[in-house]
């Protein structure tokens, strides 16, 4: 385990919970977006060389864009404010009004971005079933592509995702889906909000994992631990179009190098730590799977998320006990625990103990 990751300290002498833990600090398992910039990251931000990025003058933004384009083996890149804005700019750059995007029903682009491409872009979003491993079935893609007929939208883009709710979609599955799309004349976008989690878990290089997509959106503010920002990578002509959309979407920032410096720091210093998050998530997953009253998804390919269902008569009481034992959680009887760089071994142990205690108190 990398020692760079922090563990939460529990100051002595404060009130303790039913399982004897201190509630002064919480174990925040809601998302990897809760990560705080480290001191070294803050220093990199403070000393960043900056300029007006709308004029293309910010050397740190330019360096971040060049760095990620190179890591992914793409021609160009653009820094955007968020994953949603990055996906949105990509979809708008790929498609025109009256065209159609095929994507997964449970993917973020379809389910959690308010259907922005349809609402603001006049682009149809058509959802396909997502398989248990997070992939789309090539046959579903081929069948969904519309014939050239004025009754239908013009199928234009296949939007994939990796990881999918914490599952690293195997390289061959991603490639097979992309090939089905390409064979039908579609361009390919990849929502890689947690792309590096996928690459690390699959043991493939970022270039290899990126090769089947034309455009890829990467989030810096999830497991990588930067405070904000996403980068869209792809062919220069597409990135030029996305730059115009970014301006229209109000995402043209000025001295954005302060944020880009955090992203560069994360790429350089935090990528390796994703493997530690996965190892800690695996430890938590295994421990919870062994507890009666919990149904835990132990299927292969998982990265930093643990999916747990409470199968007890009083799930609300257990959720309450977990909260009073210092866990910050999202969801009720079904929850997703997200492990990230601000959680150390002690936090995982504390989480396991809290579940043990909550379950035994409810029994």
Ligand X SMILES: Cc1ncc(COP(=O)(O)O)c(C=O)c1O
Provide the Cα torsion 353, 354, 360, 363; round to 10°.
-150
The answer to the question of residue 307 lying near ligand X (CB under 6 A) is no
Q: Does 193 bind ligand X (CB under 6 A)?
A: yes
**Bridging pattern class, strands 187-192 and 215-219:** parallel
Three-state helix/strand/coil letters over 175-235: HHHHHHHHHCCCEEEEEECCHHHHHHHHCCCHHHHHCCCCEEEEECCCCCCCCCCEEEEEC
CA 79, distance to chain mean position in Å, is 16
Question: Nearer Cβ to ligand X, position 218 or 354?
Answer: 218
Q: How far is the CB of 230 from ligand X (least distance, A)?
A: 6
Span near ligand X by CB under 6 A; candidates 77-85, 125-133, 274-282, 295-303: 77-85
Q: Interface with ligand X includes 82 (CB under 6 A)?
A: yes
Report the residue from 37, 83, 134, 181 that binds ligand X according to the rule CB under 6 A. 83
Instruction: Output the smallest distance, CB 165 to ligand X, in A.
Output: 8
Nearer residue to ligand X within complex by CB, 193 or 266: 193
The answer to whether 108 contacts ligand X (rule: CB under 6 A) is yes
155 strand-pairing partners: 100
- Nearer of residues 68 and 219 to ligand X, judged by Cβ: 219
For tokens 């579609």, name the residue.
186
Q: How many residues bind ligand X (CB under 6 A)?
A: 11
**Interface characters, 224-263, with ligand X (x: CB under 6 A):** ------x---------------------------------
* Residue 193: CB minimum distance to ligand X, A: 3
In whole angstroms, give the CA distance from residue 363 to residue 360: 5
**Contact predicate 216/227, CB 8 Å:** no
Among 17, 84, 215, 321, binds ligand X (CB under 6 A): 84
- Characterize 172-182 residue by residue with b for buried, 16 or more Cβ atoms within 10 angstroms of its Cβ, and e for exposed: ebbbbbbebbe
Restricted to residues 111-170, the positions that interact with ligand X (CB under 6 A) are 161
Q: How far is the CB of 329 from ligand X (least distance, A)?
A: 16
CB of 298 to ligand X, least distance (A): 22
Q: Which residues contact 88 (CB under 8 A, 6 or more apart)?
A: 113, 116, 117, 120, 121, 245, 249
Q: How far is the CB of 174 from ligand X (least distance, A)?
A: 14
Strands of 215-349, DSSP E: 215-219, 230-234, 294-296, 305-310, 327-328, 334-338
What residue has token string 């455009």? 215
Stretch binding ligand X (CB under 6 A), from 76-84, 122-130, 146-154, 310-318: 76-84
Nearest distance, CB of residue 333 and ligand X, angstroms: 22
Site residues (CB under 6 A) for ligand X? 82-84, 87, 108, 161, 191, 193, 219, 221, 230
């Amino acid at each position: 385990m990398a020692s760079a990751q922090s563990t939460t300290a529990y100051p002595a002498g404060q009130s303790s919970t039913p399982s004897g833990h201190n509630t002064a600090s919480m174990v925040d398992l809601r998302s990897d977006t809760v990560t705080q910039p480290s001191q070294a990251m803050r220093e990199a931000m403070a000393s960043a060389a900056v300029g007006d990025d709308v004029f293309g003058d910010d050397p740190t933004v330019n360096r971040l864009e060049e760095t990620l384009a190179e890591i992914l083996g793409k021609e160009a890149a653009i820094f955007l404010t968020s994953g949603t804005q990055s996906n949105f700019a990509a979809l708008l750059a790929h498609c025109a009004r009256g065209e159609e995007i095929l994507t997964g029903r449970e993917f973020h682009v379809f389910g959690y971005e308010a259907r922005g491409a349809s609402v603001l872009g006049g682009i149809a979003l058509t959802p396909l079933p997502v398989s248990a491993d997070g992939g789309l079935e090539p046959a579903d893609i081929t069948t969904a592509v519309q014939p050239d007929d004025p009754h239908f939208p013009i199928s234009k883009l296949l939007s994939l995702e990796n990881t999918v709710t914490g599952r690293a979609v195997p390289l061959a599955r991603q490639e097979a889906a992309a090939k089905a799309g390409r064979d039908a004349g579609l361009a390919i976008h990849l929502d890689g909000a947690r792309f590096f989690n996928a690459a690390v878990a699959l043991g493939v290089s970022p270039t290899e994992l990126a090769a089947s997509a034309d455009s890829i959106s990467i989030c810096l503010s999830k497991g990588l631990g930067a405070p904000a920002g996403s980068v869209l990578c792809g062919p220069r002509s597409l990135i030029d179009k996305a730059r115009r959309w970014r301006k229209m979407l109000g995402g043209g920032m000025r001295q954005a190098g302060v944020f880009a410096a955090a992203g560069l720091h994360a790429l350089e210093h935090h990528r390796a730590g994703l493997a530690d998050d996965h190892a800690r998530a695996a430890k938590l997953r295994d421990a919870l799977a062994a507890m009666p009253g919990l149904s835990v998804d132990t299927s292969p390919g998982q990265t930093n998320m643990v999916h747990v269902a409470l199968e007890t008569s009083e799930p609300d009481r257990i959720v309450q006990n977990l909260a009073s034992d210092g866990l910050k959680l999202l969801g009720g009887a079904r929850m997703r625990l997200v492990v990230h760089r601000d959680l150390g071994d002690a936090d995982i142990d504390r989480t396991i103990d809290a579940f043990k205690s909550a379950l035994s108190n409810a029994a």
